[in-house]
Every structure is written in structure tokens, then in C-alpha cells.
Amino acid sequence: EKIPVRIYPDLKEGSKFAAREIAELIRSKQAAGLSCVLGLATGSTPRSMYAELVRMHKEDGLSFRNVITFNLDEYYPIENDALQSYNRFMHTHLFDHIDIDPKNIHIPNGEIPKEEIKAHCVAYERMIEEAGGIDLQVLGIGNNGHIGFNEPGSSIMSRTRLVTLDTSTRIANSHEFANISDVPRLAITMGISTILKAKRILLMAWGPAKAAVVQKSVEDNITEQIPASLLQQHNESLFILDEVAAADL
Ligand code: GLP
């Protein structure tokens, strides 16, 4: 393997491992009086990890007061409180249940006027830098190898920007919407280079549908056609898999 992997019997165990790694980082930063900058992902993959972090907050006294978050991506256009927005997802699954300072939460804004998107993306990158860079980036992976909404063909140099979603991605995500035509055609996403600047990267993948793309990302050549394979360029990236997602390795 060109990227280290950890394989767990099921997504619950893998998610607990990821949550423990995050909690440990938060606590060690706390002990040093430092903030902890997390890059966060949405989708079905990280749900169980967020549930575990919420449990650790409620039962084990894990505090998020020193945590600053930057989400990977958001549909465009979308209302912040729409059922399908990633903003709503993050509040429902994590932020509403922990003690994070709301001003430390950053999510690309699906509501801004088109002419302001460029400046919004530049400002997003600047805020990440001003926070000291991302200490740990959480990722899922799309069936086509996308990370964030960096679809195949995204440049390794890409930064936060407006992108067009692949038809396959719109179909894969259409179950969240009433109808495929309701799935936004665009999104704002951190770029590949934004992601690769994170000090550590944890990519999670569960289930048989991800096995083929996991194998390509971890073992095949680095190619912009499989965005997750670009993580081979990062020396602190780790794939956390369940047995079925690891079946082709
Ligand atoms: C979505 C998100 C990605 C996510 C991926 C996989 O479109 N933009 O950040 O990793 O697709 O989704 P899921 O976790 O539901 O399989």
C-alpha cells in the first residue's frame, strides 16, 4: 500500500478510532493552551464518528472550547437551513450538541450572491491560514474518488473554489433530495492543495461500494483522475476502512 490503512470489523469500530484520534488531539492542544483546527466532512461516512464525539462530550467531559472548524464543502446555491445543506448537517450531527464557540465554525456559504463567491473563497483560505492551518482533516470518499467536491480532473494545485458536480455525484447524492433535478449543479469546495496542506489527514470509507475506489486510491498510480490518490503525496495521511471497503486491497 502507498497510503497506510487501518482496517476495522465494522464502521462503528473504525469511527470510534477516528473519534479517539480527534479527541486526543483536542486534549493535547488544550493541555498546551493551544487551539485545535479541524477540517470536517459531511456525508453518511462521518456520521458515526460525530455521534461518538458527541458521546465523548456528554459522558467523558471532552470540551470543544479550543476547537476551530473548517468544513470542506457546501452545495451552491443552497439555503443554510435547507434540509440537504451541509451547514444544517453539521449542526444536526455535531455543533448543536457540543460546547464549540459558534464563531469558531466555518462552512462555505451556499447563500452568497454569485458575484461574491470568488472573494468568499479567497477569504476562506485566508481564515484557514490565520487559524494556523488545519491540524487534522477528516475526509470521506466519493464513488468516483472525489474528496470534498473535488471531482476527477481537479488540479493538485486547486484551492477553495466554485466547482461543477459530476452527474454521477448528483445521482449518488440524489437520495437526499426529492428529485435529481433538485440536486444543485454547483458546489463550493476546499481544493486539493487546501486539503494537502493539513498536517494530518484521516479518510474514512465503509461498505462494499467503496472497495474499488479505495484500492485505486491506495495502490494505483497518483492521478488527478482519482482525486483521493493524490493523498499518496501526503506523509501523514491514513485510510480508516471497514473490512468490506478494504476487500480489494
Ligand atoms: C459527498 C461529499 C464528500 C463525501 C462523499 C461521500 O458528495 N461532498 O465530502 O465524502 O460525497 O459521501 P458518503 O459519505 O455519503 O458516501
pLDDT in tens, 170-211: 999 999 999 999 999 999 999 999 999 999 999 999 999 999
Residue 249 lies in a domain: no
Q: How many domains does the chain have?
A: 1
Note if 120 is an active site residue: no
What per-residue confidence (pLDDT) applies to 94? 99
ipTM: 0.94
Pick from 86, 141, 165 the residue to mutate for probing ligand 1's pocket: most ligand atoms within 8 Å of its CB. 141
Angstrom distance (rounded) from CA 9 to CA 158: 35
Q: Whole-structure pTM over 0.90, yes or no?
A: yes
Note if 234 is an active site residue: no
Residue 171 lies in a domain: yes
Mean pLDDT of 14-22: 99
Residue 247 lies in a domain: no
Residue 248 lies in a domain: no
Residue 163 lies in a domain: yes
Pick from 11, 42, 78, 241 the residue to mutate for probing ligand 1's pocket: most ligand atoms within 8 Å of its CB. 42
Residue with CA closest to ligand 1 atom 12: 43
CA of 141 to the centre of ligand 1 (A): 6
Residue 59 predicted with pLDDT over 90: yes
What band does 168 get if pLDDT is binned at 50, 70 and 90? very high
Interval 119-131: pLDDT, tens: 999 999 999 999 9
Residue 88 lies in a domain: yes
Binding-site residues, ligand 1, Cβ < 6 A:
41-45, 72-73, 140-142, 148-149, 169, 173
Distances (CA, A) of 18 to 7, 8, 48, 137: 12, 11, 10, 11
Residue 52 lies in a domain: yes
Angstrom distance (rounded) from CA 232 to CA 190: 18
Angstrom distance (rounded) from CA 58 to CA 53: 9
What per-residue confidence (pLDDT) applies to 161? 98
**Beta strands in the chain, from DSSP E residues, in sequence order:** 5-8, 36-40, 67-71, 73-76, 105-106, 136-139, 161-164, 186-189, 200-205, 237-242
Residue with CA closest to ligand 1 atom 11: 142
The position carrying cell 493539513 is 198
What per-residue confidence (pLDDT) applies to 154? 98
Interval 218-235: pLDDT, tens: 999 999 999 999 999 999
CATH number of the domain within which 43 lies: 3.40.50.1360
Residue 77 lies in a domain: yes
Residue 1 predicted with pLDDT over 90: no
Interval 61-105: pLDDT, tens: 999 999 999 999 999 999 999 999 999 999 999 999 999 999 999
**What domain range is 36 assigned to?**
5-242
Residue with CA closest to ligand 1 atom 1: 43
Quick one: how far is CA 120 from the chain centroid? 19
